[in-house]
Amino acid sequence: MSEQRSLLVRAAWFLLVGWWVTGIWLSVAWFLNVTLIGLPLGIKMINKVPLVLTLKRRDRLVTESDGGSQHSLPSRAVWFVFVGWWASGVWTGIAYALSLTIVGLPLAIWMYNRLPFVVSLYQY
């Protein structure tokens, strides 16, 4: 995996581009998730939110061999239909509002990293 960009580059990206592009990115991703047909692309977009916001790459996936385990696909589908689609909208709105403040940015990034779980119980 390639190295992270410097903090200076990431801060400049956030201030000039990341904060507003992330709002558009999240809106498109959430819309795709709600259409169900666009769900695979919407989930991929959600997984890229920290990169779009601050150019931060994810470190690595949690796998079953690491002690993590995924919920079954049927249980994840039920979660998405009854909870995930609307909870992710609320979660995303709060995270985006926090990301517009310097003080709330660390919490927003934490929330963005957990967004795949809120949408579909997907554990990264």
Q: Cα separation of 124 and 96, whole Å?
A: 20
Position 39 scores a pLDDT of 84
Q: Cα separation of 122 and 71, whole Å?
A: 7
Position 68 scores a pLDDT of 62
Position 56 scores a pLDDT of 82
Half-sphere exposure of 51 (CA within 13 A, CB side): 10
Q: What is the DSSP string of 49-93?
A: HHHHHH-PPP-----GGGT--PPPHHHHHHHIIIIIHHHHHHHHH
**The model's pTM:** 0.72
Position 67 scores a pLDDT of 54
Mean pLDDT, 10 residues at a time, the chain of 124 residues:
80 91 92 86 87 80 58 88 91 92 89 88 79
Position 28 scores a pLDDT of 95
